[in-house]
Amino acid sequence: MQFDMRALPMVTRYKIVNSTITPRPIAWITSQSAEGIVNAAPYSFFNCVGTEPPLVALGLLKEPMSRGLKNTASNIIATGEFVVNLVCEADAERMNLCSVDAPADVSEIDYAGIQTAPSELVAPPRIVTSPVSFECRKVAAMDIGAMQTVVIGEILMAHIRDEFITDRERVYFDTPAMKLIGRTHGSGWYVRNGDSFQMDRPRYDPSRMAKDRVAE
């Protein structure tokens, strides 16, 4: 079956994308308003998109009724700073509490009982219990369509908890021990990062082409 994404309503396009592009890492974003209120919100339209410089991309959906910016997008655009905190299984409930529609003057940090620590280069704090936190500055923010803002951010500082570093000099991490979680299909569904397999990248073998021609 084919779906012409150009002709479908937004809610249908969302279902298709949300149910098929999985698993998605979760950016538990901390940002700060001009008045100093710290916001924490999870977003799974998120990934890294480069390393020179190191970049992350965020897809920030707008308020469905007013089509206005949510707190995270407003803060990032106003201040140019944010922190991406990755989510471990132990933080799942606190992260989920941050998805509530809290008033703009309420900090999800207080609402969910989140422990934070000052960042080194940006104003928003990082989440202490997160295995990995990236301090970021906004490179670009683009409204593409009526319902979303796409933010590109440069990672300025990376925080990785000491217990997950196996070799500092060679930059080896125990990623499985971080027990990161991601979003998957449907409302409220998550995945654990525990079932994995490894494949080495193969070298190009020109003899495979010769074999294919003989088979024809």
pLDDT in tens, 85-109: 999 999 999 999 999 988 888 899 9
User: Residue 210 — very low, low, confident or very high, per pLDDT cuts 50/70/90?
Assistant: low
- What is the DSSP code string of 106-118? S-HHHHTT--EE-
Distance CA 23, CA 29 (A): 18
Chain centroid, CA 15 distance in Å = 19
Query: What number of other Cβ atoms are within 10 A of residue 20's Cβ?
Result: 8
Contact predicate 60/75, CB 8 Å: no
Q: Which residues is 134 bridged to in the sheet? A: 84, 158
Domains along the chain?
10-215 (2.30.110.10)
pLDDT at 168 over 60: yes
Residue 171 corresponds to which tokens in the numbers above?
């930059």
Predicted structure pTM score: 0.91
